[in-house]
Structure 1
């Protein structure tokens, strides 16, 4: 076996200058370009747009009047869109605050806010007990308390169990989080507590920030305090009752302050971890995680380990971080970036596990930077240069991806990450008020276009809520005024939103029995959706799109050339025919049905035509059947096939075609249960059997 050099020699050495005859600088440029072009990582502009869209969403979501706040964290918040990544959220109550000593209580109204006091005297660095001085808190908090040392302490393990049972039904406990799936997305909800004050044990971090991050970032981080997540230290004296100090908010701000090369180094390390270090290992055997990679990058940047963080030094930066990681494993010490006394290896990486991991990492180290050839994702970009040493690599951002590629990512991001689900009038009005205030504030170009879509979405939901509120009042004047306002808001929303948003007007006209008006809007929408330059999700004719709207503002593109799926929030009635599906979707913890615009268009045309033109109704049903049966993912993707088959079955059942309806419902059950509407589908099948005793 090759003799392992002293770790000090490893840290001082640099055996990563080239692969074959190709210098590492050229390889770095090639990997930089590949990662920028990779849709799940992206260019500086793409990453900035993702972050801005998330920031706007949270600004609208976290109103001061609400008792609950949430924050997206993890790689999605940082700007990555990696396949298989969970969506992480931290959720906390604004009327509960954690303080570090009693003197901080003077900043709060103790009659309106519950104060929790930290007691770190018996906990390892980075962990604390939470003492509840007064027995005045919500039921979940009180039921999670235990008696210790003559006081009432909130048990982290009990809190996890209570939150998972009452606030996240259908989820499972995973670390400090409630984990589950929403459609095709896996999520982790960390119900936690917040402190407005920076932890005393992390004060040394402030003094350490001489070169990075810049002072304004440090001040912003310290001003926003920290959080406490429900998990204790495995080697602590009070594992079941301790809470971990979380710096998630500080961490995403640090990632935001990285330049793009530093961000991509972090991305390479995440791929390196997934595809090389942890490849083939069972979850319980994975000793290193993405958080270790991020921490290594933080330390490497702050300690000025590279003279220049630029595309030509990308792989040199990866190598520096890898050597730092190797040193940590050798020593069995991985210092937390904010509280270095908190050794993140203490509970898992020691003894034989530590020795085995070090030997494995050292074997990779001996390969030099060529070890990245073992990563399927990164290998192709390196091989391109190896096969063509004279290949010129351009790292200029504006040449990396086309206008259309950027637009696709931007609009998908706005529709998915940017979506809000207000379901009551008060909530909608608060969002509209916040939007009104934001219009006059300095916003990025991405935030402006995201805000445009938020405005359209909120107006649409307000219109239907308003109509539903006054329909059954029996007061004609109120019904008339509500109807007039609803129609005005829907028409205004169509001027701000996607082309497909016109279908909300058609739905409203159908709901209010204006069938001819609905058909008129449907006809206009059909023409717009048939335009050859239309962008729908990732589907677009690049040349025609560029010819039609190339170079124009994103605001113009949204209104003229972009279609999205239609979201029906489960707490709002849009059309009665889909109420069972909304109820089933809601019972399974999902917020809304997501329907392809072409499917909804044919459904609305069928439903409206039945009252004025039966031949047109049959033609619409035929078109819907052809679409659902034969579409190859162009207009009906895998996520929406269950609801699309369901809608076809509903329309067929209305016409009395029981055999066809039964087949469609059965097909809906065979699809991936993205919408979790099986309860509704099963009930519809049972109704078919009961209503037709001769069916067998």
Structure 2
């Protein structure tokens, strides 16, 4: 709407003061947008802008930016947050939070936003006033004076026995050092170093990225927490807004929320850069995002799409999503709420782009809660600035036409089709989002379960130690006083521990008495419905190992009846199995997460060494797959190789073959063997194909087909050269052949 940068400077009053709180010039800019906008074609034709806004809203709804999918994203991520916090691995040291676009519901498949995870350290207490000091814990005092920039602080270490500074003498310099006036302050590099050593929190392939450690699509940050609202942000609580947003109630909630202290990433430019900690108000920001309407959320998504399409290819990370969010907050705060309607989406987007333009022009994007903190400090160079301004100018002047150039989620193409009245199906995209969310949350539930077991006890510990650990975990879960999503998370996680406890008890019973006690069966029954097959297959395996073949047959028939190959998705917590192409599965993903876990997922079946007597002898060799040489090539992600793990579908047909052999049901046995063979040949998503081939090879040996058995073992070695029990089977088979000759 402005012809050049000089026009913008003139109409915005030429404000260059980067230290003011910007509140008045923000309102001035907004007034100018509506005043000077009346002279443009867009505002001369209100029907045009309204039609574009409504069509654009429809397109955004089709790609998942609609109320239902936003709430689904939020519920999924908050449920995931609750499950991880329930893990006994972290509950004594860490508190887990999910932040950013995924938990806000402000992303799309095309934007592919990272999952930002914050782990709060519980052993330190951060205070802002000496009166808040507590004995017996590590107290850290926030220093927020003229020596630190707005939005940052130092953390002075206090004594544990008295509210006094820690003396300078005898200080371990790795954790802290003194500043210029002799205060002992914590180094911000401490958390970054610590997070790289947290096995299980971050997987292999971790990359340091500022204060975060990135692994695949997950950013993990360790942080200290202060339970009181930052001093630097308290002026915001009394600030009056044009649109009466945020409300006093929201402000009160924000004021009562924790703030995080995270290590500063990159070059901050301070002489004490290693002592400065960034104040993060992301919990309060999450609250604000949850109180936006659908038009405001769509504005934010569009801003991210615009930066990804037009700016990031030229200058990556110059305009961050966080800046876009901050711009949105300022615009909402300084406009009447009635403006933010679907029919005004283009107008609202133009308003946000104008404010972003002004921020770049002044090289100042004030933090929403701490205006003195300039988010653009050091970001906008003289080479970058005019190019970005020209891009934004073009988008503003295009009256929405520039949106047709957005390839993210095919937004431009979809918008063109909408205007041509060509019907497009929105359901496929929503199904894809649901599938991705469901698989991710279900996978994390498995990791939480197995992570708790791993941190509490190694796979090879004595059964009595594992039993005591499982009983303690279950007792802790039962004693939790929780409601809402926390209760749902407990109901998802707890039954898995019950099945594991029952299996360990049953293994002990089978070893001693060749039977299964009532106590073991009781615990097993509590977890039978965690998914379609895995827990029931464990029960069938126990029955098979005790010679109860007919009871095992009944259990297997029930599993097969519910294992719909068109719907059920295999899932493994240790090996990626790929995505399904079955439309029936996609359609079922719209179920509530906890219900979908039970009826459309089949987890792999895993036996620990302490469960060995519940496991058929043919599968037990998998526990000894690794030679000493093989172990040298394993990583922490391969710890599961000390167990026997097999895909549910493979194990189902293998158990059927063995049971029908004992029951002398020759035709049923032949059918089971045929299904096992066909599954291995045709199923592309087997997590443990080498184990399946090893089981098939042993079936071939039982069928007196040693050549076919050897072929199976050879194929197994082709799948996994190291850490493969096929070597044991080949040696045994050749030894048997030599002795028989």
Match of 1:159 among 172, 191, 214: 191
Aligned to 1:74: 100
How far is the alpha carbon of 1:98 from its aligned partner?
0.9
Partner of 1:120: 144
Q: Distance in 2 between matches of 1:345 and 1:299?
A: 15
Contact between 1:452 and 1:496, CA under 8 Å: does it hold in 2?
no
Query: Structure 1 residues 665 and 275, CA, compared in 2 at 3 Å: closer, same or farther?
Result: farther
Structure 1 counterpart of 2:213, from 178, 181, 185 = 178
Q: 2:156 aligns with which of 117, 131, 138?
A: 131
Matches of 1:581 and 1:81 in 2, distance apart?
42
Q: CA 1:339–1:605 in structure 2 vs 1: closer, same or farther (change >3 Å)? A: farther
Q: Distance in 2 between matches of 1:296 and 1:132?
A: 36
- TM-score, length-scaled by structure 2: 0.73
Q: Cα offset for 1:618?
A: 6.3
- RMSD, matched Cα: 4.5
Aligned residue in 2 for 1:672 = none
2:179–2:272 Cα contact (<8 Å) kept? no
Structure 1 distance, partners of 2:370, 2:257, is 17
Paired residues of 2:221 and 2:262 also in contact (CA < 8 A): yes
Specify the alignment match of 1:565 in structure 2: 602
Q: Within the alignment, does 1:379 sit opposite 2:412 as a pair?
A: yes
Q: Does 1:415 align with 2:466?
A: no
TM-superposed CA distance for 1:578, in Å, is 5.3
1:577-601: CA deviation from partner (whole Å, max 9, x where unpaired): 6547999998128999997643443
Q: Structure 2: which 5+ residue stretches go unaligned?
A: 13-28, 454-468, 571-578, 702-708
* Deviates further, 416-425 or 517-526: 416-425
CA distance 1:242–1:688, change in 2 (3 Å): farther
CA contact (8 A) 1:515 1:612 kept: yes
Aligned to 2:694: 650
Per the alignment, residue 322 of structure 2 pairs with: 291
Q: Determine if contact 1:75/1:81 at 8 Å carries over to the other structure.
A: no
2:551 is the counterpart of 1:517: yes
* SS of the residue 1:62 aligns to: helix
Please state whether the residue corresponding to 1:72 is helix, strand or coil. Answer: strand
1:133–1:407: structure 2 CA closer, same or farther, 3 Å change rule? closer
Does structure 1 conserve the Cα–Cα contact (< 8 Å) formed by 2:499 and 2:528?
A: no
Matching residue of 1:207 = 238
Which of 322-331 and 62-71 deviates more? 62-71
Q: CA 1:374–1:665 in structure 2 vs 1: closer, same or farther (change >3 Å)? A: farther
Match of 2:273, SS? coil
Distance 1:100 1:524 in 2: 61
- Which residue number in structure 1 is paired with residue 75 of structure 2? 52
Deviation digits for residues 14-71 of structure 1 (CA, Å, limit 9, x no counterpart): 3583899972222222222222232xx3431232233234334434543696231111
1:432 to 468, 478, 481: 478
Give the direction of change, closer, same or farther, for the CA distance of 1:538–1:218 in structure 2 (3 Å limit): farther
Corresponding residue SS for 1:115? strand
- In structure 1, how many angstroms separate the alpha carbons of the residues matched to 2:723 and 2:585? 45
Q: Deviations over 1:356-382 (max 9, x none)?
A: 322333233332321111102211232
Q: How big is the shift at 1:176?
A: 0.4
Look up the match of 2:713: 661
Superposed CA deviations along residues 68-127 of structure 1, whole A, max 9, x for unmatched, are 11111122221245353322211122221211121121xx4x21x221111233211111
- TM-score, length basis structure 1: 0.78
| Residue 88 of structure 1, aligned match among 116, 119, 122 | 116
Match of 1:623 in 2: 675
How far apart are 1:514 and its partner, in Å? 5.1
Q: State the match for 1:673 in structure 2.
A: none
Aligned residues: 638
Residue deviations 1:371-423 (CA, integer Å, cap 9, x gap): 111102211232123323xx8999xxxx9899989986785565346554242
1:533 and 1:500 mapped to 2: Cα distance?
Answer: 16
Decide whether the 8 Å contact of 1:72 with 1:90 is kept in 2.
yes
Matched, 1:304 2:335: yes
CA distance in 2, matches of 1:70, 1:325: 32
Aligned to 1:254: 288
Are residues 153 and 207 of structure 1, via their aligned partners in 2, closer, same or farther at CA, if it must alter by over 3 Å?
Answer: same
* 1:224-251 residue CA offsets vs partner (Å, 9 max, x unmatched): 2200111156122222221111112122
C-alpha contact 2:361 2:389 (8 A) present in aligned 1? yes
Output the CA distance in 2 between the equivalents of 1:473 and 1:499: 23
1:503 and 1:160 mapped to 2: Cα distance? Answer: 43
Q: Does 1:601 align with 2:652?
A: yes
SS, match of residue 23 in structure 1:
helix
Determine the structure 1 residue equivalent to 2:564: 530
Question: Over alpha carbons, which structure has the higher Rg?
Answer: 2
CA distance in 2, matches of 1:544, 1:345: 42
Which structure 1 segments of 5+ residues have no match? 670-677
Q: Does 1:219 align with 2:220?
A: no
What is residue 706 of structure 2 aligned with on the other side?
A: none
Q: 1:243 to 1:404 in 2, by over 3 A?
A: closer
Q: C-alpha distance in 1, partners of 2:374/2:725? A: 57
Name the CA shift for 1:532/1:346 in 2 (closer, same or farther; >3 Å).
closer
| Partner in structure 2 of residue 100 of structure 1 | 128
Select between 423-432 and 128-137 the one with higher mean Cα deviation.
128-137
Find the counterpart in structure 1 of residue 575 from structure 2: none
